[in-house]
Amino acid sequence: MAKFTATILAVTAGAAAAFAPSTSTVRSTTAISEFANGLVGGEGPEPMPFRWGDSKNSKNFDPVGFAERSPEWLNWFREAELKHGRQAMLATVGLVVPEFVRIPGEQFSFEAIPNVLDAHDALLDTSMKQILLWISLAEVMTLAALSNMNEFDRAPGDFSFDPMGLYPTDPAKQEEMKLKELKNGRLAMVAIGGMIHGAIVSGHGFPYL
């Protein structure tokens, strides 16, 4: 149980670091002097043996050619990727934690909702409406930042929100943290889909066996 708790705290801290401020300047130019305007994430040395061409790793992997065809949208693509990655990281934690502990209230108890996936329909007229309200509020609050994406020095995903002070001051460490967030977010987006379908197919909670 102690190991599980430590894991949950580590993932939560990583999600909080996702909103850390960035000091790097966004390049709005549409001329591509380097892959994806130099945004982190294209450096990956992960092996991809089935990739066509001479390169057999994930370096500058862009099979659809978004970076070349729509360079003016690169910041928006990265903003969307970071947002979905952050949501997925929180979702993976939110799907596992209720298997072990629930918030107070009879409607949230293990007896009322033995399967976490049933919570959506069971709480549709109560908690789900509150969640929708708070998510909508958060989205509205980000509109100003998004509208200034390519006009000022705001980097994609930067909301200057770092209450735990996890974002480093060293530029090299900043790039490293950005890459960690991006890769963990990508992994979480794949993982949450697998977790949900594993729960549906198996009919069991975590670890969905």
- Give the 3-state secondary structure of residue 47: strand
Determine the Cα–Cα distance for residues 173 and 59; give it in Å rounded to an integer. 20
In the prediction, which pLDDT does 83 show?
A: 92
Nearest in space to 26 (alpha carbons), one of 36, 14, 13? 36
pLDDT at 22: 42
- Per the CB < 8 A criterion, the answer to whether 26 and 155 are in contact is yes
Closest CA to 163 of 10, 17, 8: 17
Residue 95's pLDDT is what? 92
Q: What pLDDT shows up at residue 8?
A: 47
Q: What is the pLDDT of residues 106-143, one digit of tens each?
A: 888 999 998 888 888 888 888 888 889 998 998 888 88
Whether 88 and 189 have beta carbons less than 8 Å apart is answered as: yes
Q: Is the dihedral of CA 20, 1, 186, 35 positive or negative?
A: positive
Residues of the chain with pLDDT under 50: 1-33
Average pLDDT, the chain: 80
User: Per residue in 3-19, pLDDT tens?
Assistant: 444 444 444 444 444 44
